[in-house]
């Protein structure tokens, strides 16, 4: 093993820390906001539905990198100056919540309308019928797509590097430059390869988990 | 409301040539990525379904790895990593190769699912009529699977379009890179991002429409 491997791994571990924080925070924010928005997508008032629909389609339709750049460069004009990782976090959360919202809508609509009607006929309010009858079933079906979204969010955190946030990819990039200056030859293949492998090791269990859940639910 | 910022959309017209060039590159690499990815995906799916010895496992492993790692990092790996082993690709080649491989990996799964959902009875019928294995695949399985796969191919094509924006990482002059460079010199943030957003939404909608038109053209009556 070459002498540079130890310090490099240590430095990249710090990058991995920001990647993990971003991924966890954005996943939680996406799920919370996405559930709310998703419920609004099946709400009765057409105005609410249309507004939320527009919001969801906008974020879902744009390349993630464009969203991140727009937030990073756009918010300061409103007097809100965010750091690179905060801007990336906001962008990823908005995008993730739009994806979750659409999944929530799909799942809720896949539950037969008769159930909501029956619950309403029994005297439950719309809110209570949703909370007690529809949501418990929906959450079970939501788990696989949500795990897939978490994987996408983890992938998405790598885009924060383009804003300059010191996450896993950016830590690798900086190390490559430093090694080039100090040692004098390139280490891009090894370091970017290592970054790919780390992402694989983190995301593959999630992918497998999502597939397992999906198979189990199809089996009934 | 005015946040001390005056929208000046004339700026976009002044820089229309650069933006149009960026749009052209975005369309070009999306087209190459989409078409190449479809062909690569189809070949990969056949290798998987036919369980070609040795190759099948390799394709499966590659597909899993590519789908489970970020495209953004893959681009860095191709552009900065590969030259160290003598594979020196320019930004355009990396953009195309990255999108073809990444889209191809998704399309392997799309085509595989489609091929596997062609009813077994149809193949048995063809076999009973005296068709050989290759004929059954080419005349029955392939055309049916292609039509089944169309919606998921459309989704992947749209993801390739969005993925093309990541080429900003290697300063390939596609639409997003052009836009970011204009922002950097002019600070016309809102004009440019509104234009970028509208263009990507329009392109995605157009792509979806085109694919649906193709789908209904391919559809068999009845």
Biggest CA-to-CA distance, chain A: 76
Place domain A5-219 in its CATH homologous superfamily: MetI-like (1.10.3720.10)
Q: How far is A4 from chain B (nearest CA, A)?
A: 18
- Region A143-166: mean pLDDT is 95
Enumerate the domain spans of chain A. 5-219
Please indicate, yes or no, if residue B27 is contained in any of the structural domains: yes
Give A207's contacts in chain B (Cβ within 8 Å): 64, 67-68
What's the pLDDT tens digit per position in B25-36?
Answer: 999 999 999 999
Residue of B101, B98, B64, B83 lying closest to B169 (CA atoms): B98
3-class state of residue A139 by DSSP: helix
Please indicate, yes or no, if residue B188 is contained in any of the structural domains: yes
Closest alpha carbon within chain A to B164 = A63
Candidate from A73-77, A211-215, B32-36, B44-48 with smallest mean pLDDT:
A73-77
Please state the ipTM of this predicted complex. 0.90
Total domains present in chain B:
1
Residue of A158, A19, A157, A166 lying closest to A96 (CA atoms): A157
**What's B67's domain CATH number?**
1.10.3720.10
Please indicate, yes or no, if residue B162 is contained in any of the structural domains: yes
**B206 contact A CB<8A:** no
- Predicted local confidence at residue B4, as pLDDT: 61
d(CA B115, CA B148): 8
**Domain, as residue range, for B176:** 10-218
Give A164's contacts in chain B (Cβ within 8 Å): none
Q: Is the pTM of this model over 0.95?
A: no
d(CA B14, CA B102): 36
d(CA B94, CA B77): 10
């Amino acid at each position: 093993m070459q002498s540079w491997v130890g310090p490099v791994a240590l430095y990249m571990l710090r990058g991995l820390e920001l990647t993990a924080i971003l991924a966890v925070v954005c996943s939680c924010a996406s799920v919370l906001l996405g559930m709310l928005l998703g419920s609004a997508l099946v709400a009765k008032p057409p105005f609410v539905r249309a507004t939320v629909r527009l919001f969801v389609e906008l974020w879902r339709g744009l390349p993630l990198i464009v969203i991140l750049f727009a937030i990073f460069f756009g918010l300061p004009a409103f007097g809100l100056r965010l750091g690179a990782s905060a801007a990336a976090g906001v962008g990823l959360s908005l995008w993730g919540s739009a994806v979750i919202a659409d999944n929530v809508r799909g799942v809720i609509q896949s539950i037969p309308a008769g159930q909501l009607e029956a619950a309403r006929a029994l005297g439950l309010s719309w809110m209570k019928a949703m909370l007690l009858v529809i949501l418990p079933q929906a959450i079970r079906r939501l788990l696989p797509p949500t795990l897939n979204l978490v994987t996408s969010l983890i992938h998405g955190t790598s885009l924060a590097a383009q804003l300059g946030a010191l996450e896993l990819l950016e830590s690798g990039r900086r190390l490559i430059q430093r090694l080039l200056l100090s040692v004098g030859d390139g280490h891009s293949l090894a370091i970017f390869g290592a970054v790919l492998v780390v992402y694989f090791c983190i995301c593959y269990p999630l992918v497998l988990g999502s597939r397992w859940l999906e198979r189990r639910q199809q089996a009934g | 409301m005015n946040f001390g910022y005056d929208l000046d959309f004339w700026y976009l017209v002044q820089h229309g040539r650069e933006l149009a060039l960026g749009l052209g590159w975005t369309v070009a690499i999306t087209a190459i990525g989409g078409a190449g990815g479809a062909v690569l995906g189809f070949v990969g799916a056949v290798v998987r379904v036919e369980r070609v010895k040795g190759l099948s496992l390799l394709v499966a492993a590659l597909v899993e790895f590519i789908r489970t790692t970020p495209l953004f990092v893959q681009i860095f790996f191709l552009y900065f990593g590969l030259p160290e082993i003598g594979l020196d690709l320019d930004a355009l080649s990396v953009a195309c190769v990255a999108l073809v491989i990444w889209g191809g990996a998704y399309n392997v799964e799309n085509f595989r699912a489609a091929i596997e959902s062609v009813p077994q009875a149809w193949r048995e019928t063809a076999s009973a009529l005296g068709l050989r294995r290759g004929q059954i695949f080419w005349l029955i399985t392939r055309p049916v699977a292609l039509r089944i796969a169309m919606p998921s191919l459309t989704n992947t094509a749209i993801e390739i379009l969005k993925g093309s924006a990541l080429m900003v990482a290697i300063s390939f002059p596609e639409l997003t890179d052009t836009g970011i460079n204009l922002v950097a010199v002019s600070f016309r943030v809102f004009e440019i991002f509104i234009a970028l957003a509208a263009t990507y939404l329009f392109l995605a909608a157009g792509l979806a429409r085109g694919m649906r038109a193709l789908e209904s053209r391919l559809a068999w009556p009845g």
